[in-house]
Structure 1
Amino acid sequence: MNNLVNFIIESGVSLSLLALIYVLFLRKETFFRLNRLFLLFSILFSVILPFLHFRVYAPQSNMLAEVTVTPYRNLLEAVTIYGQDLSGAMVKSISSSKIIISIYLLGLTFFLGRMIFRIIQVMLIIVKNEVQYIDNYRFVMVDKDFSPFSFLGYIFINPNLKSKPGYERMVTHEMEHIKQGHSFDVLILETLTVFQWFNPFMWLLKRAIRENHEYLADSAVLNSGISTSQYKQLLLSQAVGFQLDIANNFNSSLIKKRIQMISKIRSSKFANLKYILGFLSLLALVIIFACEQKKTAQITKVGDSNERKITISLLDDRLKVDGEQEDLEVLYSLVNEKNKYEFDTDSTGTMFLVKSKVEEPRQLDEEDQVFFIVEEMPEFPGGDIALRKYIAASIKYPDLAIQNGIQGKVYVSFVVTTEGAIANAKIARGVDPSIDREALRVVNSLPKWKPGYQRGVPVNVSYTVPINFVLQ
């Protein structure tokens, strides 16, 4: 469900922006073929965008393979933690709302049913009426008062119109819809509308493409030899009968706009520059949704008279430090006078200034005996399921690891003492300092267990818990 919500959100934002650009800057231009390409590419791009992932800054990812042979005893079942950015959090929030999901699914069902009904409606007209093959085109003769329309390879027309002036032009118009494959555009739009029914820009884009189809067909008819004034008169003389939204209609509510576009002076070649705006918008969407960028707030510390510098960046609640070794040593001596900070290095060699641990985890004495198997094993309050829930709820996927694309399985070993407390917690197998620290913090925070017993006496028992960090 999360993947579907993410697809709907990202494709919806892309469709909205590109539709807005078309309406504001390109809709009134007479580059009908370019406009159609822009609209169709906008749809294709919006569908593909949620699946694109590029990393602008990509250090070496540390993804550990599954352990096949392990020396760990009392190995608990792995707990998987998923990392999400802001958009991921929004996706999760929407996915968890039953009301939003229910409303969306109701709308999806309605519009899917409507699309299927309209296709069946067209198919029934074909089945119930005479079909004539003329010049490789299939004409469906429908004895009803309506304007000609086309769908896929069929032209639907009232045979009584043959005696009226302009009949050939109307047929030419519908032939152009078939030649240029406009029905396929309509079917793609109808399908996308099923998923984006709530998006007003989707309906705007749908209308824009239908307008473009009519402009293209009108342009082809005008190029066949009819005068502009005659064609305008033909458009105005057509009475509106029943129409099918899924088909291309010769006469529609777009007549006024079609007449205006026929009379419009051709756009200059300089108007082509407007398409650059569309390209820049596509690039911006890729950067926003597909590229994962590393952002830091820069703070510069100026050194002595030699103007040596230490650069400090705020990142993941830690301070990233860059500078010469000599300057870093001076900084280290200054901040550690009261032992409140310490330096740390991640797997990429980046140095960080972090707060020292205020409270050291409990450590057993060397002479304390630790068991692996006892008659009565320790028990977490609520059992193993409760333990997994506690760990999953307590762990926060480090922002630094998310930004650097770091994931993997951390093995944390610990001892449940005779009092049921946690002691000797350590990383048995790590992934990255940022992830290791978080896993260790949560294990050290575990509430008291029911201690294990051997021959009726409470004893120390060792455990290992795997925590799997996975980026979505």
Structure 2
Amino acid sequence: MNNLVNFIIESGISLSLLSLIYILFLRKETFFRLNRIFLLISVLFSMLLPFLKFRIYHPKSILLEEVTVTPYRNLVEAVTIYGQDLSGAVIQTISSSRIIIFIYLGGLLCFLARLVLRLIQISILIYGNPVRQIGGVKFVHVNKKFSPFSFLGYIFLNPEKRREPGYEKIVAHEMEHIKQGHSIDVLILEIMTIIQWFNPFMWILKRVIRENHEFLADRAVLNSGISTAQYKQLLLSQAVGFQFEMANNFNTSMVKNRIKMISQIRSSKFANLKFVLGILTAAALVVAFACEQKESIATEISSEKENPQLQLTLQDDKIMLNGADADIKKVEEMLSRGKLVLTKDSLGRSYISIEKEDIPKVLDEEEQIFFIVEDMPEFPGGDLALRKFIASTIKYPDTAIENGIQGKVYVTFVVTKEGEIANAKIARGVNPVLDKEAIRVVNMQPRWRPGYQRGQAVNVSYTVPINFVLQ
């Protein structure tokens, strides 16, 4: 779900910014072909942006030369911990809100149904009326009063309009839509509208692209020899009947803008420099989104909040717990490990955490430690549960965030014969602040199921990489 939300947000922001640049700086220019290219690239770029990944910074770790981390089977998959930022907070909030997700999916299904319905309507017109092919273009003769329109390789028109002045120019206009492949643009826009239906800039972008299609077709017809005055009169004289929004209509509500653009003085070549704004914006979006690190485990953690959340209330100088029995037992287990500590985060929110008072367990030197055994130890719930435990328990130190400290810390520990954690130490560190937090969390692990060799419980060594990343 996080990946979907990330795609919707990043593509939506990209569409909004690029649309804004077009509306403010390029819409009134007469570079219609360049404008079309800019708009189409804006749509395609916005669709691809969330999938782009570039790493421009590689955190450097301090390797302790006397320790070698070997790729044994008991090297746990790395757990990535992110410093909380606005982007991550927004994505996690949306992902965890079922109401927002249901509203979005409801809108998506409605607009998908609308697209399917319009395609069915056009198919009915094609198969329910006479079709004649002339020079690679298929003409569908519909005996209804409506504005001629084109879609893919079809032109839909009323044959009775042949006797009206300017009929040939109307057909020429629609043929230009077909020659230039405008229907492909329209279909791409319809698909993006389904995904970005809530984004007002998507609707604006959809309108300006269709508007640009009309400008391109108008210019082609004018270049064929008709006078500007005659063509303006033709635009004004067309009666409006029913229209398909998904198709290219000759007579649309944007007639006023088309007439204005026909009279527009052609833009100077220096106006091409305005397209540089789009390139700079795209580059900025790549740096902002494609070069950031993406969260990978947050979805797994946040998606399993089906049980009622644990609630704490103050009553008669006591703290009362309300919630699932499993959560209350977990709190009881945590309290048995140490003392309560009140802490605050950067937003001023208060938290009660457990500070272990007991000294980490250390095995005697003569104790035998295995790396691989017949029956490996198991964290309660498996490796995924271990990664979730670390991700939910660890806290990115504020000092490290303020100083921009990040990197991967390797922690080795031993699962004893009794399933306890012992001999936790840093195998490869980055910074004392991050190392200390990694050790703290590893020592807080609950009891494992011990490993067995030849039917006897034995001590087994494990290594877990914890990757601290600042976005």
TM-score by length of 1: 0.71
The equivalent of 1:362 in structure 2 is 359
- Superposed CA offset, 1:143-175 (max 9, x none): 000011000000001000111110000000000
The equivalent of 1:426 in structure 2 is 425
Counterparts of 1:405 and 1:193, CA distance in 2: 39
Counterparts of 1:34 and 1:61, CA distance in 2: 48
The equivalent of 1:51 in structure 2 is 51
Report the CA distance shift for 1:437/1:382 in structure 2 as closer, same or farther (over 3 A).
same
Counterparts of 1:229 and 1:366, CA distance in 2: 96
Give the Å deviation of 1:391: 2.9
Report the CA distance shift for 1:25/1:78 in structure 2 as closer, same or farther (over 3 A).
closer
Counterparts of 1:432 and 1:76, CA distance in 2: 18
Counterparts of 2:49 and 2:379, CA distance in 1: 45
Superposed counterparts of 1:443-462, under 5 Å:
443-446=442-445, 462=459
Counterparts of 2:103 and 2:75, CA distance in 1: 41
Give the Å deviation of 1:93: 2.5
Q: Pick which of 384-393 and 128-137 moved more.
A: 384-393
Superposed counterparts of 1:29-178, under 5 Å:
29-59=29-59, 69=72, 80-81=79-80, 83=82, 86=85, 87-178=87-178
The equivalent of 1:193 in structure 2 is 193
Superposed counterparts of 1:397-416, under 5 Å:
406=407, 410-414=410-414
Question: Matched residue of 1:246: which SS?
Answer: coil
The equivalent of 2:222 in structure 1 is 222
Give the Å deviation of 1:77: 7.3
Superposed counterparts of 1:232-381, under 5 Å:
232-292=232-292, 362=359
Tell me, which stretches of 5 or more residues in structure 2 are unaligned?
63-68, 294-354, 371-376, 451-456
2:194 aligned partner, one-letter code: V
The equivalent of 1:440 in structure 2 is 439
- Superposed CA offset, 1:318-350 (max 9, x none): xxxxxxxxxxxxxxxxxxxxxxxxxxxxxxxxx
The equivalent of 1:394 in structure 2 is 393
Give the Å deviation of 1:116: 1.1
Superposed counterparts of 1:457-472, under 5 Å:
462=459, 464-469=461-466
Q: Tell me, yes or no, if structure 1 residue 207 matches structure 2 residue 190.
A: no
Report if the CA contact (8 A) 1:118-1:246 is conserved: yes
- Superposed CA offset, 1:400-441 (max 9, x none): 7xx898558x453146699x98653224x5475576543312
Question: Matched residue of 2:226: which SS?
Answer: coil
1:54 aligned partner, one-letter code: F
Report if the CA contact (8 A) 1:417-1:423 is conserved: no
Give the Å deviation of 1:120: 1.3
- Superposed CA offset, 1:199-257 (max 9, x none): 00000000000000000001111111111111111111111001001100000101111
2:45 aligned partner, one-letter code: F
Report the CA distance shift for 1:175/1:436 in structure 2 as closer, same or farther (over 3 A).
same
Counterparts of 2:362 and 2:183, CA distance in 1: 79
Question: Matched residue of 2:58: which SS?
Answer: coil
Give the Å deviation of 1:89: 3.9
Report if the CA contact (8 A) 2:438-2:466 is conserved: no
Report if the CA contact (8 A) 1:415-1:425 is conserved: no
- State the Cα RMSD in Å: 4.0
Report if the CA contact (8 A) 2:82-2:396 is conserved: yes
TM-score by length of 2: 0.71
1:201 aligned partner, one-letter code: F
Aligned length: 388
Identity rate of aligned residues, in percent?
Answer: 59
1:224 aligned partner, one-letter code: S
Counterparts of 1:152 and 1:404, CA distance in 2: 56
2:273 aligned partner, one-letter code: L
